[in-house]
Amino acid sequence: MKFELYVAKRMLKNEKHSKNFSRPIVLISILGVVLGVSVIILTVSIATGFQNQIKNKLLSFGSHIQIESMFQSNNKETSPINLLNKNIDENKNLISIEEYAYKSAIIQLKNRSSSNEVEGLLFKGIENFKRNKFLKKYLIDGVLPNFNNKVNDTVILSRKTCQKLSLKLNDKITTFFISDGNPRQRNLILGGIYETGLEKVDSKFGFIDLQYLKKINNWGLTLKTKYHFDSDSTTITINVTNKSKNGFLLYDWGNQLKVSNNQSIFSAKKDCTLKLIGFEFSNLKNNNLINIPDTLIIKYSAKQKIISYENKEGSDQYLCGGLEIYLADFEKRNLVKQNLKANFGPEFKISTIDEQHQEIFAWLNLIYQNVYIILVLMIAVAVINMSCALLVLIVEKTKMIGILKALGIRNTSLRKIFITHGGLLLSVGFLGGNILAGIIITVQNEIEFLKLPQENYYLDTVPMDYPTLNILAINLIAFLFCFLAMTLPSIITSKISPIKAINSEI
């Protein structure tokens, strides 16, 4: 039997036993498989590229998970949340946690009076411009400002916003915020211009120092004091200079008593340490706190006659508009979200990136539905091509099949010969398709010759990734389908009569 199989395989390859009319048909079938496989890989590559790049852009404006207060205003401004006793660093899936806040504002170029040249924005306060990966990637003009431990009045705006207001770098911008029901005018400086291609999102957002927004919102309490030595230099008087705009201030000078007295006197002849705690209440009867109490450590050195301070940051360090959480594994976002809900409680709103941008993610999912349709169609085309090629081979080798049957070869062995031969042709097609797709992906990523209208697709070039595992899985599944499909035309060999086949003129 081994000899018969060897003879059969040699006869398939031997040109003397063939009129070679099948050669162009087989070649066309292989080219069809090459094109089909390359289309499948390119479709998956483009769909994955779209998802990854647009997802990364959306993450620039947010994060995998956001934590905010449930009580927010209608204009999407964030309410302050208290971070005291909120520990979320234990999860190994977390890469980083960033504080932020949103604040609505109306901006215009300074010294411009026309009411038609104003723009409404939602400022996003961030902790550090230099550390923000989004600004490093999408900043197209200007430089990122340094904080230097001071509140910074520099802002970053989108190119679309700058075009509307005819703004240029280093222009002074008149900005109107609403705080405690009253408008507040501030002059800001345009330090940079960014562009992501997501025009609807770009036109809504500007970036500003988080501490600046905290100051505008009057979040937290920062105790400020002045001191002076009395005329005989035997005592020191310390006065708290804070004033509450929305309530009443009480102080604890280290004796665990809350008093309205903002002054303390102590001896200048010996070292002293005071732990001053300030409380801001909206109502003294009910003791309703407006802000987190601030603690200031005051140290006096009798030898040097100097007063120093510790913990000067203020209680606003425990307040922010929300937290942005970045994960190592995006697919675990819902699991992490459930764990955070159990830790934070019902007064916090915890949402994932796909919940924040449902329309765009629905569009991305629709793209992948098209991928599945194209995948099925291309596999069907490959099956038809190779089945036709195998049928042509069988018809061409009819006389050979009759001779082999006369020699006693089994139908199963005969079918294996043609299926194996078809599998080799299919392998050539799949290999060629993968090489062609790989070349196109590499060239596109290098020179970006395929362009897109950014206003419609959010990207200016066709994105192509190479998800290795997905492509290997698709290759394997498609090859198995095509290979199994070739068993159907091979059945014809078992139906051929040896006598008729040998007498055949083909």
Question: DSSP states of 5-25 as a string?
Answer: HHHHHHHHH-GGG---TTHHH
Q: Which residue has the tokens 């201030």?
A: 249
Long-range contacts of residues 496-502, Cβ cutoff 8 Å, at least 24 apart: 496/398, 496/401, 496/402, 496/405, 497/402, 498/402, 498/403, 498/405, 498/406, 499/402, 500/402, 501/398, 501/399, 501/401, 501/402, 501/403, 501/405, 502/399, 502/402, 502/403, 502/406
Output the pLDDT for position 502: 59
Distance CA 20, CA 451 (A): 44
Angle subtended at Cα 123 by Cα 122 and Cα 129, rounded to the nearest 5 degrees: 150
Q: Which residue has the tokens 């905290």?
A: 214
Output the pLDDT for position 17: 41
| Nearest in space to 11 (alpha carbons), one of 278, 409, 399 | 399
* Structure tokens given for 81: 């949340």
Distance CA 152, CA 190 (A): 12
| Nearest in space to 194 (alpha carbons), one of 119, 122, 143 | 143
Q: How far is it between the farthest Cα atoms of the chain? A: 134
Q: Check if the beta carbon of residue 422 is closer than 8 Å to that of residue 397.
A: no
For the chain, 506 residues long, give each residue's pLDDT as a single digit of tens.
454 445 445 545 554 444 555 677 778 878 888 888 898 899 889 888 888 888 777 776 778 888 888 876 656 788 888 876 666 655 667 888 888 899 999 998 866 554 457 888 999 998 877 777 777 888 889 888 776 666 788 899 999 899 888 889 988 998 998 877 778 888 999 999 998 887 777 888 899 999 889 888 888 888 889 988 887 778 888 999 988 877 889 999 888 888 888 888 888 888 888 889 988 888 777 777 888 888 899 898 888 888 889 888 888 888 888 888 888 888 888 888 888 887 777 888 888 888 887 877 887 777 777 788 888 888 888 788 777 777 776 666 666 666 666 666 777 777 777 777 777 888 888 899 999 999 999 999 998 888 888 777 778 888 899 888 989 998 898 888 888 877 776 666 566 655 555 565 54
| Nearest in space to 105 (alpha carbons), one of 15, 256, 212 | 212
- Dihedral through CA 100, CA 321, CA 122, CA 128, nearest 10? -20
Distance CA 137, CA 406 (A): 73
Distance CA 47, CA 393 (A): 38
Mapped onto helix, strand or coil, the DSSP state of residue 423 is helix
CA-to-CA dists, residue 269 to 1, 301, 419, angstroms: 114, 9, 103
Burial label, 93 (beta-carbon count in 10 A; 0-12, 13-18, 19+): middle
Burial label, 147 (beta-carbon count in 10 A; 0-12, 13-18, 19+): middle
Q: Helices (DSSP H) in 255-410: which residue ranges?
A: 333-344, 353-356, 358-396, 398-406
Q: Which helix (H) or strand (E) holds 265?
A: strand 263-267
Output the pLDDT for position 461: 87
* Structure tokens given for 189: 């400086």
Distance CA 127, CA 4 (A): 78
Helix axes 23-61, 468-485, angle to 10 degrees: 150
Give me the amino acid identity at 489.
P
Q: Check if the beta carbon of residue 345 is closer than 8 Å to that of residue 322.
A: no
